[in-house]
Structure formats: structure tokens, C-alpha cells
Amino acid sequence: MWSAFFIMIIKEEKGILIKDTHFNPQHVLECGQVFRYTCDNGEYSVFSADKFATVAKVSDGYYVSTDSPDYFFNYFDLDTDYDKIVSHVSQISPIMQSATQYGYGIRILKQDFYETLFSFIISANNNIKRIQLIIERLCNQLGKTTPHGKAFPTVEALASVDADFYRSIGAGYRSQYLADTAKKVHNGYDFTFSSTAEISSKLCKLLGVGQKVADCVMLFSLMRKDVFPVDTWIKKVYHAYFEDGRRDNEIRQRLIEIFGEYSGYAQQYLFYYQRSIF
DNA sequence: TCCCAGGCAAGGC
DNA sequence: GCCTTGCATGGG
């Protein structure tokens, strides 16, 4: 048994009890950072790589049931103080007050690197429902069977098929990107980089990975918060609440100037909020 | 029918 | 370097 110092978290052999207002499974899982979850009667199930958990409301908080409590403690970023983050970003811009109130309980997940990489290559110029469908087919056909369903495929499995396979599961013109990147990373991917800029440029050398996808991978799996994924929704936010015009990369730089080391958090609240308005 | 979706690569300047 | 275009697919 173990508890965090600022919120009440009790880690047990088969799960984690979370008593913290800054944890809401609906907002954590449905805010667009992860694609492989389901909801049944208010109870969420989530896969990460080959690990599985369910999250249910209990009288004094939420209970995460899993065989891998250590993994999901890390996955749900439970040793980070979101009270501090929310109050900080809320002071920066009035829109952030609305965004953090709407998306209360969002936390930035620490997801599997390869799952995040391939998921966000699929996400390019695509919509979330179809992204989820393509990933589901990918897992069903290439993932290992586990007691709770199919795991996300290993890099070996992803590299063992060609572009035609990815076309057959509906990946469209991203099929060649997936096949090419799978072979590249399977042949050994260098993780010795250090700075965010260094990781970014390395990721952007992979086919199907541009600045936006690289930012998502760094934010959702490599714990880099000094990034700001600029997609079609963030552009709408920027033009509505900050200023008109500017190119994508300029918008990214401006927002990182504004939010600094809290950029990744701010981005996720804004993305989720903007999509709710639409 | 056209537009949009968590964009990117390639080719032209 | 910046700008334009084509790209699979399904839903509104």
C-alpha cells in the first residue's frame, strides 16, 4: 500500500483507489489523447500496449482494477500535481478557465511509445471514430491474444506486413507511411536523443510523421510538455481567442511562448473544450 | 455534391 | 525556405 503526498491514492495488488478531484476517467480517456478504450454503463475499459484496466466509480472516488497497478499508476500520471497545473494555466488566459472547468479531471497519459506513434500516423487528416476503427482492426488482426482482448501489435508484427495489409484495414493513403515506418523502427530506432527539439527532428524523419504527429507522440508517450500539437481544432481556438492568421508552425511557437512548460497540458484542455463547443 | 476530419509528402518556386 | 496540391475513407 502506498499513497501520494498531495492526493489520496492507494495502490493495491489488483488495483488503485484514486480519491482526487483531478481524475475523471471520462475526460481523461475521451479528450482525444488515446483511442483504445470503451465505455459500458459508465465503467471504462482501457488497453495500453498489452496491459488492461477498468475504471469504475466507487463511493469515495474511482477504482482502477488491473493486474498491472504499477503500470497504470504511471500511465495515469498519478504522481503529478494537477492542482498546480490547472491553477497555473488558468491564470494565463481567460479561455483556460473555461477549458479547465469543462475538462476537469483530465490528466496527460504516459502511453506506450510505439502505440502512440502508429496511432497518430493513422490520425492524420482523419476523424476520431474512424481512427479508433482502424486501430481496432489493426489489433484484431496483428495483436497478441490476452485474457482481456487483443494487445496492440508489437513492432515485429507491424513490420511483418506490407502496405497492402494496412490498406485492407482502411488506412488509406497512410498505408505506405505505416509500412515504411514499421520497417524503419523495427530495424532499430535510436532513443539516445535528449532535447525536445532533437526528438522532434528525429521523429519527423519517419514517413507519415510531421510536426503535429511528432508533438502528439512526445506529449502522450515521452512526457514532453513543452510542445503544442496544432491541428484543425487548435487552429480554430487560436483564431477565436488569440489572433487571426499565421502559419501552423508560427501558431505553435506563439502558444509555446504563452504556456511554456505547461504547453502540453494547456493544449489538451483547449482541444477538448473546442470540440465540445462545435 | 461538397466539406471536413488530431496532416503529410512531394514538387515547384 | 514557403506555398500548393493530391491523398483514402466515411459521415454530415
Quick: pLDDT tens for A7-20: 688 888 899 999 98
Proximity of residue A216 CB to strand B below 7 A: yes
| CB of A102 closer than 8 Å to CB of A53 | no
- In this predicted model, what pLDDT tens digit does every residue of A230-268 receive, in sequence order? 999 999 999 999 999 899 999 999 999 999 999 999 999
Q: Which nucleotides of B are covered by protein (CB under 7 A)?
A: 4-10
Check whether residue A267 has its CB closer than 7 Å to nucleic acid strand B: yes
Asked whether A181 and A118 are in contact (CB, 8 A), the reply is yes
**Phi-psi map region of A265: left, alpha, beta (phi>0 left; psi -120 to 50 alpha):** alpha
Are β-strands A43-48 and A149-150 bridged in parallel, bridged antiparallel, or unpaired? unpaired
Q: What pLDDT score does A10 carry?
A: 86
Per-residue model confidence (pLDDT) at position A6: 52
What predicted TM-score, i.e. pTM, was given to this entire model?
A: 0.96
Instruction: Specify the range with the lowest mean pLDDT, choosing from A41-45, A79-83, A188-192.
Output: A188-192
Which residue's CA lies closest to nucleotide B6 at its C1' atom?
A: A231
Burial annotation A154-174 (CB, 10 A radius, 16+ → b, else e): bbebbbebebebbbebebeeb
